[in-house]
Amino acid sequence: MNAKKYSSYLLSGLFLLLSGCATDPVPEAPAPQQLPVQGTVQDTEQDSTEPPAQESQSLPPPREEIVYGSFPEDILARVIIAELAGQRGFNQTALEEYVKLARDTEDLGIIRRASRIATFLRDTEASLELSQLWLAQEPESEEALRTQAFQLITANRLSEALDLFARMHALGYEVDYRLISNRSENNIEIQAQLDELIADFETIQVQYPQDVSLRLALAQLYRENGQLQQAYELLNQLTQELNNPIDILIAEIGVLEEMGEIRQARRRLQDSIDNYPDNSQLRFAYGRKLVEEGNYREAMEQFEIIVEQNPLDFDMLYSLALIAIEANQLTAAKNYLERLLVNGQRSDDVHYYLALINDEQSNPGQAIEHYLQVNGGNNYLVALRNYAELMIEQGRYPEASERLRGIRFRRPELNSTLLVIEGSLLLDSQDYDEAMSFLNRAIGNYPADTQLLQLRSLVAQENNDIPRMEADLREIMRLEPNNPTAFNSLGYYLADRTDRYEEAYELILRAAELSPNDPAIIDSLGWIQYKLGMYEEARINLERAFELYPDHEVAAHLGEVLWVLGNRDAAREIWQDALEVQPDSEFILNTMERLRNDSSS
């Protein structure tokens, strides 16, 4: 198993997991508090956290008996029709009729019912209009005020929502101002309003200087607006006043980090853990920071404590297993993963990482057995590839091929992907005859699959079957005329192995037009320019390619151009630096020997 590949898969899985944990079992920042339950938007026909009602979903019955005024028969008939439409799932029809009735009659009972239906259906425009009609008759109605405020927030009309919150506050209703600040987070539409919104918040804070949700919201807006010192001062004040509530404390530490006060933030976090050793949320925040910094051993210690404190928190146990792998504590990692298996947790992921560990420890048989038990999940295709790779290395290719064929039969949506995996593994194993035979059969079934054609062109090149290679690459160009890889592959081969330089130049120019910032293509362009005697243009492009991707092959090309231009010291320096990274580079060693021989002859 390639160690670099092993580590990259692990790190990506670990960071994804910790990102999820940060908002799930152990939140990183204050969770948005919903509006108070009694008499709120949530207390209407539908909880605001639920998805919008579907057209076929019937409206719920009224929460209270509707007292209508004395209406003519035609109005009563319209009300009955609207209710029947709602009961039968024709919700939009019911809402449209109720909106018209509310406008026509201005009856408070109808307006309330219509407003609640609009909220249930998540119709912001209708809800705003109806709540305004409601407030015209009941200007201090808590439900109407909350409904309108919530819809204004949904519409990103935050200043108007803030005015309503202040009005509710003055009436003695409970208000959580963070509903507004939460809406501003990472909201591009709100960014232009932040200065004005902050000024409005500061005005209200003068009236209510001790309101916690107001100050938290203002701190969040300061942070969003880059006013980190103001955010820190507010949060620090709150942590002192409220005896270090964990959510606010973590937010304060986050602001310190954004201010560049890393040491102070770390000291604050460590002191907090010392003061609250049983708080998993704080310890998780500390452990996650250690992971981000690459201090896996120390991170392990923190996660071990969390798992000890919360033995049934399997997400934390899984995180601990991945950190242990990264810390190269493989025996411990195995124990943690096996605990997860015993508890029926994350079977596919656990078998995948147990396979990786056994592969790293040169236990291919056990690794294969674990890969065979990965039946789904994000690592499924990687597990299949690693399984097949190990089987080929063990001389068991026919058995692996049969298994992959069976999976393709059962899961036809994976057919092309698995064919490419198998073909690339045969290419990597240098079994070129078997690879060509396999790819010929695959392309016979899927003649327009450009990935299979690309693979066969590579095998053909290894077999020195240049007509086959060129035919496959030109077929890719025909099928995908904007595929830069095909143009570059053929152009580079012609530049490097033939004297068809003008043809190669046209192909590589087309690739560069399609993908102008690809270092491989820029390298090809520099190389063909060198072949054509365009030395200065070649130097410029090869220096750019090497800056983007300091690969040993690019170093060989750049060094040769510098050598020919007379800058031999610079050429030697480029080669020596590259050889320190890859001392067995045939590209560089062959280039150096060839140029030395040319100089001596």
What is the residue-averaged pLDDT of the chain? Answer: 87
Task: List phi, psi (to 5°) of 286.
Answer: -65, -45
Report d(CA 426, CA 146) in Å as an integer: 65
pLDDT greater than 90 at residue 547:
yes
DSSP symbols for 124-176: HHHHHHHHHHHHHH-TT-HHHHHHHHHHHHHTT-HHHHHHHHHHHHHTT----
Lowest average pLDDT, out of 92-101, 186-195, 449-458, goes to: 186-195
What's the pLDDT tens digit per position in 49-80? 344 444 456 666 666 555 555 678 888 889 88
pLDDT of residue 75: 87
pLDDT greater than 60 at residue 276:
yes
What's the pLDDT tens digit per position in 366-398? 999 999 999 999 999 999 999 999 999 999 999
What's the pLDDT tens digit per position in 236-263? 999 999 988 888 999 999 999 999 998 9
pLDDT of residue 12: 56
What's the pLDDT tens digit per position in 468-487? 999 999 999 999 999 999 99
What's the pLDDT tens digit per position in 170-183? 999 999 999 999 98
- Cβ neighbours of residue 366 closer than 8 Å, sequence gap 6 or more: 354, 355, 358
Q: What angle do CA 31, 35, 37 make, to 5 degrees?
A: 115
- Cβ neighbours of residue 184 closer than 8 Å, sequence gap 6 or more: 158, 190, 193, 194, 197, 220, 221, 224
Q: How confident is the model at residue 4 (pLDDT cuts 50, 70, 90)?
A: very low
pLDDT of residue 89: 87
CA distances from 75 to 92, 104, 485 (A): 19, 9, 70
pLDDT of residue 371: 96
pTM over 0.75: no
Question: What's the chain's length in residues?
Answer: 601
Share of the chain above pLDDT 90, in %: 75
What's the pLDDT tens digit per position in 291-328? 888 899 999 999 999 999 999 999 999 999 999 999 99
Are the C-beta atoms of residues 190 and 158 closer than 8 Å to each other? yes
Give me the residue label for tokens 């001062």: 233
pLDDT of residue 32: 30
What's the pLDDT tens digit per position in 397-430? 999 999 999 999 999 999 999 999 999 999 999 9
Report d(CA 574, CA 559) in Å as an integer: 6
Are the C-beta atoms of residues 423 and 443 closer than 8 Å to each other? no
Are the C-beta atoms of residues 132 and 148 closer than 8 Å to each other? yes
* Structural domain boundaries in the chain: 34-175
For the four alpha carbons of 498, 500, 502 and 504, in that order, the dihedral sign comes to negative
CA-based nearest residue to 150, from 46, 62, 61: 46
Q: How confident is the model at residue 184 (pLDDT cuts 50, 70, 90)?
A: confident
408 class by beta-carbon count within 10 Å (0-12 exposed, 13-18 middle, 19+ buried) = middle
Domain 34-175 fold is 1.25.40
How is residue 492 written in tokens? 């580079």
pLDDT of residue 369: 96
pLDDT of residue 20: 54
State mean pLDDT over 491-517.
Answer: 95
Share of the chain above pLDDT 70, in %: 88
State mean pLDDT over 101-114.
Answer: 92
Report d(CA 497, CA 499) in Å as an integer: 7
pLDDT of residue 34: 28
Task: List phi, psi (to 5°) of 174.
Answer: -75, 135
Report d(CA 109, CA 68) in Å as an integer: 6
* Residue 275 three-state SS: helix
pLDDT greater than 60 at residue 43:
no
